[in-house]
Structure 1
Amino acid sequence: MKVIRSREFKSQRAWGALDICNMNGITTRLHWTDEPYKWHINDGEEVFVVLDGAVEMKYRANGIEQSVILNSGDIFYAQIGTEHVAHPQGEARILVIEKEGSI
């Protein structure tokens, strides 16, 4: 049993994570960041939930770059092959559910 107060979590580095659980190869991690990630494509599906703060999620669909602002409570689902990058707007806390070992 765990109780995690996500708004209290802060890492010493951008995209530092607290591992919450691994269920049959699917990880759930809480990330803290104040810096953009990098463009990437996961080798599996990804669920990206903004718990605190705001994040501009940039993604490429059919070769066209698009973006959406995700606020606290918003969810971004990346299918296999979705190229994307997260740009927090200040500090953000994000719950990421994905295949173990994804970047």
Structure 2
Amino acid sequence: MEIIRSKEFTATRAWGAKNISNINGITTRLHWTDKPYNWHINDGEEVFVVLDGVVDMFYKDNGLEQSATLNAGDIFYASVGTEHVAHPKGEARILVVEAEGSV
């Protein structure tokens, strides 16, 4: 049993994470960041939940770059093959649920 105060979580580097759980190969991790990630395609599905802060999510849909601003409480679902990159505006805390070892 553990209570995690996500707004208090920080990491020593951008996209540093706290591993919360691994349930049958599906990981749940809390990330802290103040810098963009890299464009990538996950090996499987990904659920990306903004817990604190604001994140501009860029993604490609039929080869065209799109974007959406995600605020606290917003969820981005990346299906298999969705190329995407997150750009926080300042500090952000993000809950990511994905297959273990996914990019």
Shorter-chain TM-score category? over 0.9
Is 1:101 paired with 2:73?
no
AA matched with 2:44: G
Q: Secondary structure of 2:17's match? A: strand
TM-score by length of 1: 0.99
User: Residue 89 of structure 1: CA displacement?
Assistant: 0.4
Tell me the residue number matched to 1:26: 26
Corresponding residue pairs, total = 103
Structure 2 unaligned blocks of 5 or more: none
The structure 1 segments of at least 4 consecutive aligned residues displaced by more than 6 Å after TM superposition are none
Q: What is the RMSD computed on CA atoms of the aligned residues?
A: 0.3
Q: Secondary structure of 2:7's match? A: helix
Q: Secondary structure of 1:50's match? A: strand
Q: CA separation in 1, counterparts of 2:11 and 2:99?
A: 22
Give CA deviations for 1:33-87 in whole Å, capped at 9, x if unaligned.
0000000000100000000000000000100000000000000000000000000
Tell me the residue number matched to 1:84: 84
Q: CA separation in 1, counterparts of 2:36 and 2:102?
A: 17
TM-score by length of 2: 0.99
Structure-to-structure mapping, 1:61-76, within 5 angstroms? 61-76=61-76
Give CA deviations for 1:3-24 in whole Å, capped at 9, x if unaligned.
0000000001000000000000
AA matched with 1:40: H
